[in-house]
Amino acid sequence: ETGVTQTPRHLVMGMTNKKSLKCEQHLGHNAMYWYKQSAKKPLELMFVYNFKEQTENNSVPSRFSPECPNSSHLFLHLHTLQPEDSALYLCASSQDLGSGANVLTFGAGSRLTVL
Amino acid sequence: GQNIDQPTEMTATEGAIVQINCTYQTSGFNGLFWYQQHAGEAPTFLSYNVLDGLEEKGRFSSFLSRSKGYSYLLLKELQMKDSASYLCAVMDSNYQLIWGAGTKLIIKP
């Protein structure tokens, strides 16, 4: 399968649960990203990894914990979330960082609902 | 601060032309992107402008004026499948992407 694949597509969890979101890309890209998308708001960058190393953490609360075991896989571990964390979580990849024409390829997202 | 402005929602008729505007104030400029996002799907890349002028790709065109901090996406011969959100994003001097909140385009028959 080509492109960026995210699982699960939908997740409902209580505030005390622990769950993980998974992202996989088969494009040979070196950079991977987690974004949060809330209704009528701009995309919020959460984390960036380049060659498996975290290069950006945009003041994200510690209840979100990323993991990048290799250049093709990215996880977002979730624990003790709040209802305001309910949103669409998008994974993306790009060939590199730090170039102008840096086109992102997105996954379809994981729709998270926190009860 | 850095800011991208685009209309929240627009409505147009099938077969017609629509222009979606985007204005920006950013720390530096390394290019402007347009992405299309259908409901429940991944955003997909439409265009990239770094120099002033019009870039045409089939029914879609994107225009940039760096001096005015302004871009537009022009969609011609609208089809029902063009109903989607259109996201404008600017890459700043640190190669960080600054995103607009998106424009939801509704196409009516």
What does DSSP say about strands A110-114 and A87-94: parallel, antiparallel, or unpaired? antiparallel
Q: What pLDDT score was predicted for residue A53? A: 85
Give A 26-65 residues with CB within 8 A of chain B. Answer: 40-43, 45
Chain B's closest residue to A98, CA to CA, is B95
Cα torsion for B49, B28, A45, B6, to the nearest 10°?
Answer: -60
Tokens for B5?
């402005």
> Residue A108: which of B41, B45, B87 has the nearest Cβ?
B41
Looking only at Cα atoms, what is the longest distance across chain B? 43
What does DSSP say about strands B53-57 and B3-5: parallel, antiparallel, or unpaired? unpaired
Q: What pLDDT score was predicted for residue A101? A: 83
pLDDT of chain A, 115 residues: tens digit per residue: 569 999 999 999 988 889 999 999 999 999 999 999 999 999 999 999 998 888 877 789 999 999 999 989 999 999 999 999 999 999 999 998 877 788 999 999 999 999 9
Digit-coded pLDDT (tens) for B11-60? 999 999 999 999 999 999 999 999 999 999 999 999 999 999 999 999 99
In contact, A25 and A3? CB cutoff 8 Å: yes
Q: What pLDDT score was predicted for residue A2? A: 60
Residue B75 to residue B37: CA distance in whole angstroms: 15
Q: How far apart are the first and last CA of chain A?
A: 33
